Amino acid sequence: MSPAPAARARPTAAFFDLDKTIIARSSAFAFSKEFQAGGLISRGTVLRSAYTQFLYVIGGADHDQMEKMRQFMSQLVTGWDVATVREIIADTLLNIIEPMVYSEAVRLIAEHHEAGRDVIIVSTSGAEMVEPIGQMLGADHVIATRLEVDEGKYTGTIRFYAYAENKAKAITDLARKRGYDLERSYAYSDSATDVPMLAAVGHAYAVNPDKELRKVARERGWPVLTFEKPVALRREVGMPPAKPTITAVGLSAALAVIGAAWWRTHRKNAA
């Protein structure tokens, strides 16, 4: 009697947060000047968004702040033409993002692919921006915030907000669909808001962690990685030269303004 065939191992994956994990700063904030160039915000708002980004980096945003930002985002994008947004992003994305990719992250993505794992980018930013970045990086799938569309325009309703516990749920749903063994899978993030995402896999890593995530990583024994070498993406993966000009702004630039608008409103209410 011949022996029974060995059970085939389930596939595994590596899940990467985007901002300050793969990209060296906020991908949304990177678009703020282009948002101004497109005539959608004023110079003052750009400056306020810079200040808000500074506050976010040094202190982080708590759940209530992120919820207020989410609500403002839904109001801001209402009526925007989807085809125009996608075209603008396609024309401008590489010029904005390509100098800011961590070399360490690009190499780690390649290593996971060489090991036979799928690579998934998980980001709170809009899918309209995250999907092209995922293609640039060779990701197999992206999990991102998705907005409702009706007759080619954004309605202002957020169909899925890829934040905190929602990221973890999306990961488990995708694992169920694709058969991933999460206990043998990997996840990387810089933010304490992604603790649920990191806890969903068997191999969690804190990358350039904020203060709270560093504390959690220490308590749970998660390794801490330091990424510190932003490089040109085209040099790392052999991409062709990008277009030399920037014409306007993409949808995810809205996220750069969310913080600015929240800060302005919060300051006014506090006065």
Q: What domains can you pick out in the chain, each with its CATH number? A: 13-270 (3.40.50.1000)
- pLDDT for 222 equals 98
152-181 core/surface letters (b: 16 or more CB in 10 A; e: else): ebbbbebeebbbbebbbbbbbebbeeeebe
pTM of the prediction? 0.75
- pLDDT for 156 equals 83
Give me the chain's average pLDDT, please.
75
CA angle 138, 23, 157 (to 5 degrees): 85
Average pLDDT, stretch 8-13?
92
Q: In the structure, what pLDDT confidence band is assigned to residue 249 with cuts at 50, 70 and 90? A: very low
- pLDDT tops 70 at residue 266: no
Average pLDDT, stretch 142-166?
90
- pLDDT tops 60 at residue 167: yes
Greatest extent of the chain over all pairs of C-alpha atoms, in Å: 83
Q: In the structure, what pLDDT confidence band is assigned to residue 83 with cuts at 50, 70 and 90? A: confident
Q: Kindly report, residue by residue over 170-214, the tens digit of the pLDDT.
A: 999 999 999 999 999 999 999 999 999 999 999 999 999 999 999
Alpha-carbon distances, residue 39 vs 29, 32, 74, 95 (angstroms) = 16, 11, 19, 19
- pLDDT tops 80 at residue 2: no
Average pLDDT, stretch 257-270?
43
Report percent pLDDT > 90 for the chain: 41
The closest alpha carbon to 197, from 205, 12, 4, belongs to: 205
- pLDDT tops 90 at residue 157: no
Active site residues: 17, 19
- pLDDT tops 60 at residue 51: no
Task: Tally the C-alpha atoms within 13 A of residue 218's C-alpha that lie toward its C-beta.
Answer: 7
Distance CA 21, CA 188 (A): 7
Kind and range of the H or E element at 154? strand 153-160
- pLDDT for 186 equals 98
Q: Which residues contact 252 (CB under 8 A, 6 or more apart)?
A: 27, 28, 31, 89, 125, 126, 128, 129, 130
More confident residue, 248 or 5: 5
Quick count: other Cβ atoms within 10 Å of Cβ 188? 27
Instruction: Say how many residues make up the chain.
Output: 271
